[in-house]
Structures are given as C-alpha cells and as structure tokens.
Amino acid sequence: MHRAGEDLLYFDNNATTALDPAVVDAMLPYLTELYGNPSSAYGFGARVGQAIETAREQVAALLGCEGKEIIFTSCGSEGNNAAIQSALLADRDRKHIVTSTVEHSATKKLCETLARRGYEITWLPVDADGQIDPAEAAAAIRDDTAVVSLMWANNETGVVFPVEPIACTAREQGAYFHTDAVQAVGKLPVRLENSAIHFLSLAGHKLHAPKGVGALYVHRRSRFTPFLVGGGQEDGRRGGTENVAGIVALGKAAELAGAHLQAEQTAVRAMRDEFEAEILARVPGTEVNGGGAAERLPNTTSLYFPGVESEAMLVLLDKAGLCASAGSACAAGSLHPSHVLTAMGFSTERARCSLRFSFGRFNTPAQVARGLDIVVGAVEKLRRRMPATVG
Ligand SMILES: *Cc1c(COP(=O)(O)O)cnc(C)c1O
C-alpha cells in the first residue's frame, strides 16, 4: 500500500484533492477550543459566527460576488439539487428543464428523477470534442423552461462550456440558469459581478478543503426556496447547525485558490501538457478525449489507449502507487462505460479503454516523469498480454 506522501503519485485531483496544510491550520481551532454554536447569543458563539462570515467573504472574493450571495452547503451535489429544485418551485407552470448529456451524476440523476415526476427534459448533445452547440442550447430554451443547468467544466474531459451566453438567453426567457462549477472554481477565473448566472455550485474537496462542505451562489435578486428546511441558519436559506470547521476551511481554501489561480494556468497546465504530449509520443495509437477545438481545464487529460482495458490498467497503476481513474469516481466500480465518452459518440470499446489523469498544485514535474514511465510500462505489459486486441 502506498501511503500519501513522497511515493504516492496522486493524479486524480478531479475526484478529490489533498487538504492544503494552511487549510488544516485554519480549521483546527474550530474542531478544538472554538466549539460554540454560531447561533448562540453569548460571545463564545458569536465569535464562531464571525468566522463563518469571514469565510463567506473569502468565497465571495474568489467568485467575484457579494458575501450575501453565498450559502454554505454540504457538497457539490447538494448545491445542484438545491438550485434546480428551487428554480422549479418559483413558477410551477414551467415544467421544462434544459441540461446536457454529460453532466455529473448529481445533475443527471436528479433530472432523470424529475422526468419520472412529470418534467420534460431536453438533453443537449455534445460533439466529438465534448462541446455543446451554444445556438442549439439557446434554441432549446422555451417559454415554459423553468431552469437550464449546464456544468461549467466537465469532470472527465475538462471541456469548458460557454455558460455565460447561454445564461443570458435563459434570463431573457425568464428561466433560471444554474451551473455546476465544481471543477471550474479554483482552476478558471470566475467573476460573477455582472453575470447572468442565477445559481452556481462548488465543492470544498475539489479545491483543497475537506469533504462535507460546499457553497451555492444565489444571485442577490434571485428567489430561493430552501432545500433543507430547519432553523434560521444561513439567513433562513439552509437549516441545520453549520459545519463551522468545514466552512472556515472552505474560506481559507478559496483565498488560497485565488492566490494559486495563476499557477493552475501555468505550472499545473505545464505538467498536464507534458504528461499528455509524452504519452501521445511514447504510446502508439493513444488519443485525447476532448482534445479538439474545445477549451479545456488546465489540469485534466482523458486518454484513449486502444485495446487496453482501463480496469486492468488501474490495477497495474495502483500496484505502482499511481492514482488515476476510469470515468468519474462516482461511476468507478460499475460496469457501465462512461456516459460522457459515449455521449461524445465514442464506441463502448473506446469508453472502456480510456483513463483520466487530473493534476494539481501539489504534484511536481518529477512525479509526472515517474508517472509517465509507469503508465507507458503498464500499457506495454497489457498489450503483450493481449496482442490480438491492439488497434
Ligand atoms: C465532484 C463533482 C460533483 C459532486 O461534488 P460532491 O461534493 O462530491 O457532491 C459535482 N459536479 C462535478 C462536476 C464534480 O466534479
């Protein structure tokens, strides 16, 4: 077993990320001496409440919005569920939803559930690059569309959707626009001050904060119906005693993400580009999924290794201490090929023989070099084992 540290090659930063040590330092006091309830009237509670407000401002600063537009949640999935369900409650005559075929399961499964409850869903297709057609998206929005939900960046391929112009069209039609920005925040600049977006979800654990905390941006003039009904926490918009340590951690992680945004675009991108270019050069037949004209996240590469089953690859990579993934973490272990890759028009074979590598600021060029040898060696080993299936 390879433990986290020097010898682990963690190239799965789209599944989750390591906590930044500065984030751990920021949250620790709220797991130890500062345990007051932020809703309590005395100073010991108020001090904890103040820490939540500081975190709210830190998250708002990263997104270019106002603190009062941030609601803390438990995860990215909760943000997606809360935003879409709130939009549906705003005008019950609107029974139509627009989304894409490549959304994260948090959105995809919710829309499938809503379809069974009588909502009509338009599933926008993607092309072979993994991109939607903005004109087709705009044309899909009708006068009975309640909400358009499109991810900002895809977790499997890294492909970035042009969300802002589609949000403008949705707004003009009186529909809400939600974006699942779980993969985008911290990797791409996000400025919401003049945006048409109504709702945006993010998750702490994708940007070096812990699991169990996230945030939902709700535009200051948007109606919002709470998803979790309870006490008056979060200005009455989400019941439940706050995950204070997690929220403080997310605030600190947001501040650090802002400071490291440039490095994501340069150092992390350089590692991804180096890894991708070397694999393409050293492993015959390899292709990039989503490597066409579409803009991509700087940290992600999805690679097709013809004839090499990703499940077998992952076993070999794991033995060598390298973490990567086939499809999304949530779909791993299931026998279904990635819905993202099949939506791009790829064969089941291509979807089954593809791996995602996602880098982060705690990776080093030396790790990338070591990882390259391991991946190239694993492909060669598997191709020797099943030579007839190559190509
Ligand atoms: C990870 C992820 C989610 C889910 O976030 P959780 O915090 O695990 O609920 C949603 N959307 C995308 C694009 C993701 O990558």
Measured between alpha carbons, how far is 274 from 358 in angstroms, rounded to an integer? 13
Mean pLDDT of the chain: 95
Tokens of 67: 């603190």
- Least confident range of 1-15, 82-96, 246-260, 351-365: 1-15
User: Is there an atom of ligand 1 within 6 Å of 155 CB?
Assistant: yes
Q: Would you state the pLDDT for residue 233?
A: 97
Atom in ligand 1 nearest the alpha carbon of residue 203: 7
Ligand 1 center from residue 44 Cα (angstroms): 34
Higher-pLDDT residue of 353 and 4 is 353
Ligand 1 atom nearest residue 328's Cα = 15
pLDDT score of 202:
98
The pTM score is 0.96
pLDDT at 390: 47
Residue-level pLDDT at 391: 44
Relative to the CA of 206, which ligand 1 atom is closest? Answer: 1
Return the C-alpha torsion angle 166, 167, 171, 175, nearest 10: 90
Q: How confident is the model at residue 135 (pLDDT cuts 50, 70, 90)?
A: very high
Which sequence spans correspond to the domains of the chain?
A: 9-19+261-389, 21-259
- Please give the Cα distance from 371 to 317 (Å, whole number): 9
For ligand 1, is residue 77 a contact (CB within 6 Å)? yes
- Amino acid identity of 345? G
Of 327 and 42, more confident: 42
The topology under which CATH files domain 9-19+261-389 is Aspartate Aminotransferase, domain 1 (3.90.1150)
Cα–Cα distance list, 238 to 46, 76, 328, 335, 354 (Å): 19, 15, 28, 36, 39
Q: pLDDT (tens digit, 9 = 90+) per residue, 19-55?
A: 999 999 999 999 999 999 999 999 999 999 999 999 9
- Residue of 183, 201, 216, 296 best suited for mutating to test ligand 1, as the one with most atoms within 8 Å of CB: 183
Using the mean position of ligand 1's atoms as its centre, give its distance from the Cα of residue 381 in Å: 33
Query: What mean pLDDT comes out for the span 176-197?
Result: 98
What is the pLDDT, as a whole number, of residue 334? 55
Whether ligand 1 lies within 6 angstroms of the CB of 367 is answered as no
pLDDT single digits (tens) 207-225: 999 999 999 999 999 999 9
CATH number of 21-259: 3.40.640.10
Protein residue whose Cα sits closest to atom 2 of ligand 1 = 182
The answer to whether residue 169 scores a pLDDT higher than 70 is: yes
Q: What is the mean pLDDT of residues 346-370?
A: 97
Any catalytic annotation for residue 75?
A: no
106 C-alpha to center of ligand 1: Å?
7
Asked if residue 106 has its Cβ within 6 Å of ligand 1, the reply is yes
Band (pLDDT 50/70/90 cuts) for residue 2 is: low
What pLDDT, on the 0 to 100 scale, is given for residue 335?
A: 59
| 6 pLDDT tier (thresholds 50, 70, 90) | low
Which residue has the least CA distance to atom 15 on ligand 1?
Answer: 155
